[in-house]
Chains A and B, each alone.
Chain A
C-alpha cells in the first residue's frame, strides 16, 4: 500500500474494526480512555476524532476484532532503496538472542537494503533534552514526546499541559531523517526512490505517518508491525550463514524499549516514570490540578511496561522487559558506542506547534453548549447510574451526552425501556377494564 494524498485525508487513527469478528460486547467501550467507542447496530464503532490509538481496545477485545492498519512487508518493494528502522522493542521478542546483529541481518534477508536502528537516534534526543533541561526555559515538569499516544491524549484531554511537552520529534522520526541523509550520501537514488519503514510495537506510530506530530510531513514511508516481521524472521534466524556487524547502537538506546529507559539515559534523578494509559491519565489529572509536583521530567508511556507492552508485539511484556535488560547489559559490558548520528538540534525540534483539538465540547456557541450541558445533567440524573454499557455507551453520563448530541435516545437504556414497557402494560390493563357498553349491564336493567 502506497500512501497517497487521498489516504492522508481519510486517516485520523490506525485502530480499525473487523465487523465480522465483532460481537457487539462492551469490553472495548469500557476500556477506552477517551470514550471514543460506542456499540451501534450490534457492532463497535470508533469515533475517529477521539481515538488516540492507545491500543487498549486491541488488547482487551476477546474476539480479536480490533487491529491496527499498517503497511506490510510487500509494500517495501515499491522503493528501490529500502531502509528498515527497527524499534529497540523488536530485540526483546526472541528467545536466547544474545546478538542484535542476528535480527538486523535477518531484516536484510527479508528484503531491506539497509538498517538504521531507532536506538541510535535516541542518543541525539537525549543529548538535546539534557541541554534544554539545563537551560531551564521549558515549562516544568517537562513531559516526554516519544509516545505519540500520550501526546495525542494531551491534545484532546489535557490542553493546559501542551506547553509542558518536550518540543522534540520522536526517535522514530529522528532516525528516519538521519537514515534518509545517510542513504542520500551512500547511493545516488532520488529521495522518492528511498523507502523508510519503521518496525513497530505501536499502533499510534502508524498514525504518525499520516498525521505527524510536530512535523508538516513524515520522513517515513510506512510502519510494519513487529508481529508480521517476527513471524517472518523466526524461521530464518537460525539458518543465517553470515551475520553482518550491523548494530551500531549503545545500551542506553536499547533501554528506551521499556519504561524508565528514557529517564535513565537522561541521568536526572528528579523524575517520574509512568506507564499504562490509565495511570498516565491519573497522573496528568494531578499535574493539571496541583502545581506543587516538584519534578523536572515526566516519562509517560501509554503501554504497560513501555513500548515492550505495545499492541503490535508478540512476546509477553514482562518477559520482553527482562530480555531487553539482558541485551542492554551485554551491550554495556561490550562497551559498544553509538556511531555518530547526523542530526542537528534544529532538526530535532518541532517544525509546527501542537494545538488543542477540542473533541469534547458540546457546541461551538457557549450558550447552546450550556443549555446542552444542563439537559445532559438532567438526563444523567434520571439514568440508573449503573454504567452497565448495555446502551452501547461506556457510562450513564456518556449516554446522556450522546442523547443531547442527538446520537441516542433515552430508551437506549434498557432500564428506561423496561419502565416504559411497564407503563404501557399498566395502561393496557386499565384500558381493558374500560368495557364498551355492549359488554356491560345497563343501569336501567337493574
Chain B
C-alpha cells in the first residue's frame, strides 16, 4: 500500500510573516467600532448618550462661565439684561465668600483657623501617604496634640492673647469641617468598641451592643439631631448647659458610631476562625489578640466601608442646618433670603457652588479609599 500511495507532501521551509490585524479592530477606529458602533442599536445609544452629555455640558458651560456674572455690588448686576436672563451670579458668591467660609468669625481673627487648616494639612498629608515615615509620632500629633491646638485656636484662650470666639459665631465651611472631623474621630473608636461588643461572648454586653446599634441605625439622623438639641438639655442637671454646637456633635458621633460598628463587624466576621485560635494558642489576652491580630486584618478589609461611612457623615453634617446651625449649607440658605441679592439665578449659583464644594471633599475621600484599597491589597497579589 505504501508503494501505491503517492504521497503529496508539501511544506514550507520558513514561517510566513505575520499578517497585520485587520485595521477595523485595532487602534482608535477599531476601539470605536467595538465599543460604540458594533450594531445599529449600539450606535443609536451612542448618539443618544452623546446628545445627553452635550446638553449637560453646554448648559453648564453657558450657565457657569459664558453668560455668568463675575463682578457686581448687588442684585442689579445679575438681573436679566435686555430681557435676556444672565447665567450664574458668581458676584453673589464672591460677595459672601468670607461668610460661607467661616460664618461670623471675626475678620481680624481669621488667621487662626487658616493657621489651623495649614497645620492640619501638614499633619494629615504625611499620614495619608503610605510611604511617609514616623507614622506613630504623626498620628499622636494629629489625634493628641491637634485637637488641643484646634480648641485653643478656634475657641481662644485669653491668657495666651487669643480673644474668645463664641461657637455661635462659628459657621460656614469651618463649622462643617469641625463637625465632620470630630464625628469621624469619635465614631471610629466607638464603632470598633461596639462591633467588638456585638461579637463578644458575654451575653449582656452583646445584647446591649445590639440594642445600641439597632436603635441608632433604625432612626433618622434628623430626629437624633432634634433629640440632641431639645432633649439633651433635659437630660442634664439644671446648672449644666451644653454648648449649642456640642449638642448635635454628640448626636452625629453616636449615630455614625452605630454605622461604623456594622461596617467593622463585617470585617471581623470575614476573619477566619483559625486566626482567633492561633492568637489564643500563643497565649495572647483578648485585647492583645484583637489589637495585634484581628483588628489590623479586619480594618484593612473594610476600608471602603469605613470611608463610605465618613463620606456619609460629611454629607449628613448638612442636616444641622435644619436645627438652626449655620454650617455651609445653612449659611448659604440664609444668605439666599437676602433681598439685596434676590435674582432669578442666585439660588442656582449658590447651590452649584455648594454642590462643587461638597463634591470635591466626598469625591476626594472616595478616590483615596480606592487608592488605599489597592495599596493594601497585598494578600492576593499574583
Are these two chains actual partners, yes or no?
A: no
Chain A residues close to B by CB (< 8 Å): none
